[in-house]
Structure 1
Amino acid sequence: MVNIFFATTTLQLLNCIDEAKNYSASENILIFGKKHPNLDLKLIEEVKDFGTKYLFDYSMFDPFKRFLSLRRMMGSVKEIAQTENLKTVYFGNIYEMQQNYFFQHLSGKERIVLVDDGTLNLNFPDRIKNGYFIKGQKNLQYYKNLILYRYKGKDVNRPELFSIYKLDYPAELLRKNTYQNLFKDKKHNKDDNKVVLIGANWASYISSKQYIEILKKIWKMNQRKDIIYCPHPAENLNLLEESFNAWGFKTKKNSLGIEWYLINEADFIPSKIYSFSSSAMIVLDQFYKGKSDLFILPPLLKLGFNNLIVSYFKENRIGNFMDWNDIGIDHLEIVD
């Protein structure tokens, strides 16, 4: 009996790792499609909770590559389904989970679990009703001919939901993820001198001059601290290098994301964490609750998902909210 874990993002992977720890590594098969070209697959290869790993280039920038890669992934699933006795199928993404050519390889008896997808699951209630996928949503038009629990007349189990979020989902199918397995072996010590600043994809929304002004204000508020800057994958650090050198910022790039770095690589608990309303704060709030002060800066784009994430932070009392006046910014032209 084996379990397949299907993931394409860092947060999905963290959820899969946490769940995989409930089984022996020999029972677990990881199918991981990297979305960003800079992703360091060596870190994935070092994950010990999966006996078998299939790694694919799942480029988010090239639709044709994405299609071919997904087909290769599904080919691996087909091979596994034909040679192994599948017990549970864990999906990290509700889009990929609905691919028609995946379900044709299932017997219908497998337990199906949605692990947390992070950015998609905040508007999960708009896509789910009573544990079933709804057809016809604008963002699901591509998959409108498929409802999860029925594929070409074949019944499959209703999906369970394993999530860090508080969502409106049938109680018998919902399991709250507290990262109990992922966190239990981490015995980091708090370092009052360390501050973490999570970067943003700012270049499309404000000028480098404005962004540097914001960072300078945060630096002045923590001048005697050791500030570690964790950049967004899309950031151009060359434009920030001169200021960082002047302020003594230390840059920590991690293609697997801030959650992975702080939980799996860092050996300290920072006194403060700042972010521009990053969804990573939801995970970090659970990991550092009562240990670090989390500060939520306004998002640099006030549309769509950013509105959802800010609302979720406020409803669930995650972090301390700051506005531009709190850090001494009088005027900032943010994209509406």
Structure 2
Amino acid sequence: MSLGEFDLIAKYFQRPARHALLGIGDDCALIAPTPGMQLAISCDMLVEGRHFLSTVDPERLGHKALAVNLSDLAACGARPLAYTLALALPRVDEGFLEGFARGLHALADAQGIELIGGDTTAGPLNLCVTVFGEVPPGRALRRDGARPGEALWVSHPLGGGIGDARLALEVFRGRLSLPGEGFERARAAMELPQPRVTLGLALRGLATSAIDLSDGLVGDLGHVLRRSGVGARIDADALPQSAVLAAQPLPWRRECTLAGGDDYELLFTAPATADAAVREAAHGAGVGVTRIGRIEAEPGLRVIDDAGQAVAVGQGFDHFKS
């Protein structure tokens, strides 16, 4: 017998409330941030065929659905508190639900947060998560704080880089091929992004602006430059790359690192004198950081190589233009 909506929720998503005052089971959830803190709220939607492939492992999809939202909190320097899930399913598939819930709950438990509500309905597969975090007044990392002369940094896995998620996507599209082990590493970057929450917290009071990389470095940096009213210069050859990506032809390396999406790393600015403090913050968070350029007063983005030559780049991902 197929599960009904409320049986589905009870079996796969309802868990005892630990931090919320009132969790799943009422018309509204109740959460109480620490006194004196501000709430940070973000919402992201994942649509089958647009944000993930139909062949993705459900457990990985559960992880990613929450991870991309936690990445927004990381970019704000906010500590996660709780989240909600709105889930549309074409049919009740318990095998899918079991794996999806396992991946979702595992990341939530690792971050010490809980599911406090949401909605389920029949329809094309669509996942919408809203996360709630907290940050001290005046300490949130924002997009409008970059100033001329500051250094531009990007986070990445230790010993790795950015662009691997885009590399995996191009393999799925049939435009590239990778050896088995290399493909699995790139695929893991695409399907199991790691939200840099700990780094975001460590950058409070140090970084002057921040954004998470979801639509590509060039496109996401553009948001910071517009909000801050500044320009920037990037050294294309300084961008961190994994061994898998570094083995690809130069045009693909440029495309993946500069315009690729789904990295969910932090791109941030900091005073030029703060290099040691930035590296210490990253070391404490267990992630790598690389200084990739600087903020300039002249508007616009300039990308150059080690020879000082301009590098042509795309504009990043846009949901209604790509």
Q: Same fold (TM over 0.5)?
A: no
Structure of higher RCO (CA pairs closer than 8 Å, 6+ residues apart): 2
Q: TM-score, normalised by structure 1?
A: 0.25
Q: TM-score, normalised by structure 2?
A: 0.26
